[in-house]
């Protein structure tokens, strides 16, 4: 990740620590960030943050003590999900509908797989 992009997320983390119990208006900070950096840069940042999450998961799978890093990257990608929704006009409802569809599809796949296993036994 470039120093500039790392700095953006570092400033957000410092901002949250600074405010302690008085958390800033997250939506406003994220909206301001999009205005300040522009949607193209923020989209690139989101791509890079997702890549960092992949690396953190890989470290966990290799048995490295990377839990704190995994949590941090999960937080970064969740922030990015909010940014992407705002930048591309995607509502919470749209996302939730797809989550439900995909969850039901996975449920059906697991059911079908169990049925196939029973028939083969």
- Rounded to whole angstroms, the Cα distance separating 82 from 99 reads 15
- Rounded to whole angstroms, the Cα distance separating 38 from 97 reads 28
Model pLDDT for residues 10-30, shown as the tens digit of each residue: 777 776 676 665 566 888 889
pTM: 0.76
Q: What average pLDDT score do residues 85-105 get? A: 95
Model pLDDT for residues 56-81, shown as the tens digit of each residue: 999 999 999 999 999 999 999 999 99
Cβ contact 87:39 at 8 Å: yes
Please give the share of the chain, as a percent, with pLDDT higher than 90: 71
Give 81: exposed, middle or buried? Use CB within 10 Å, 0-12, 13-18, 19+.
middle
State the helix-helix crossing angle for 67-88 and 26-37, rounded to 10 degrees.
70
pLDDT the model gives residue 20? 60
Q: Which residue has the tokens 């193209």?
A: 40
Residue 41 has pLDDT above 80, yes or no: yes
- Rounded to whole angstroms, the Cα distance separating 63 from 119 reads 37
């Amino acid at each position: 990740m470039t120093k500039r992009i790392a700095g953006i997320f570092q400033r957000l983390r410092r901002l949250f620590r600074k405010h302690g119990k008085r958390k800033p208006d997250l939506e406003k900070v994220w909206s301001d960030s999009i205005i300040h950096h522009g949607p193209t840069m923020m989209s690139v940042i989101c791509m890079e943050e997702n890549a960092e999450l992949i690396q953190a998961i890989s470290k966990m799978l290799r048995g490295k003590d990377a839990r704190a890093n995994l949590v941090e990257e999960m937080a970064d990608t969740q922030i990015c999900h909010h940014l992407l929704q705002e930048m591309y006009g995607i509502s919470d409802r749209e996302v939730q509908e797809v989550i439900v569809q995909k969850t039901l599809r996975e449920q059906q796949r697991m059911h079908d797989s169990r049925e196939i296993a029973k028939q083969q036994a």
